[in-house]
């Protein structure tokens, strides 16, 4: 049975992850438009608790690959946050499914959010919201933070990825960084079963 794994020294590296993600997205900015690294780090530190709150909320939604109710619930949660950030958001359903031996009758949705910038680069950030855990396991392994580690089902694969993407976009907005043509976020709901729908 899958166990809850901590992401080693998870909380502190979230700041570094946010800083690195934002710096990576902002690499093409001219010196005149780029914020100093210290400013980016300070803003990333301000995002730490909101990121942990998002991570907690995502982990508290059971979203196994075959749990359509849970996948729809987490998709709505993610879509809501991306919409609040100003993205043009769609929850996508597919009927064109590549059938494998273990492909369920229905697969989870995908969330797509597109942010328009003032530059020309096309950037895509991808993660997935489905997990390998069976419905009901959350009650025995709830989200918790212990020191500099966060624990919870699906936390490393890939709910932290979703939280990092959401808060990287928020950080870019705080930096007023728009030197891209489109920034597309795509979160799918069937990665753990080989992404037969996407």
DSSP 183: E
Whole-angstrom Cα distance, residue 16 to residue 66?
33
Q: Per the residue annotation, which of 62, 190, 191, 192 is the catalytic one?
A: 191
130 catalytic per annotation: yes
Structure tokens, 123: 């950037």
CB 40 within 8 A of CB 15: no
Rounded Cα gap, residues 5 and 156, in angstroms: 8
Q: Cα(198)–Cα(194) distance, rounded to whole angstroms?
A: 9
Give the bridge partners for 123, in sequence order.
183
Q: Is 77 helix (H, G, I), strand (E, B) or coil?
A: helix
Among residues 62, 130, 157, 179, the one annotated as catalytic is 130
Q: 88-92 and 144-146: which strand pairing? A: unpaired
Within 10 angstroms of residue 92's Cβ, the number of other Cβ atoms is: 14
Whole-angstrom CA distances from 183 to 21, 33, 115 are: 13, 18, 5
Nearest to 27 by CA among 41, 37, 15: 37
Which residue numbers are catalytic?
130, 191
């Amino acid at each position: 049975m899958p166990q809850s794994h901590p992401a080693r020294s998870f909380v502190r590296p979230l700041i570094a992850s946010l800083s690195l993600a934002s710096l990576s997205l902002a690499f093409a900015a001219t010196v005149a438009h780029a914020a100093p690294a210290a400013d980016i780090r300070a803003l990333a530190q301000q995002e730490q608790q909101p990121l942990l709150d998002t991570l907690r909320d995502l982990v508290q939604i059971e979203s196994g690959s075959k749990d359509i109710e849970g996948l729809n619930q987490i998709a709505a949660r993610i879509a809501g946050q991306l919409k609040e950030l100003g993205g043009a958001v769609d929850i996508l359903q597919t009927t064109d499914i590549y059938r494998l031996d273990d492909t369920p009758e229905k697969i989870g949705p995908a969330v797509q959010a597109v942010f328009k910038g003032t530059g020309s680069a096309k950037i895509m950030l991808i993660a997935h919201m489905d997990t390998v855990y069976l419905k009901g396991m959350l009650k025995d392994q709830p989200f918790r933070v212990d020191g500099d580690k966060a624990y919870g089902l699906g936390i490393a694969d890939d709910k932290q990825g979703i939280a990092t993407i959401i808060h990287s976009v928020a950080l870019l907005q705080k930096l007023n960084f728009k030197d891209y043509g489109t920034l597309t976020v795509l979160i799918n709901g069937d990665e753990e079963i080989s992404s037969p729908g996407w």
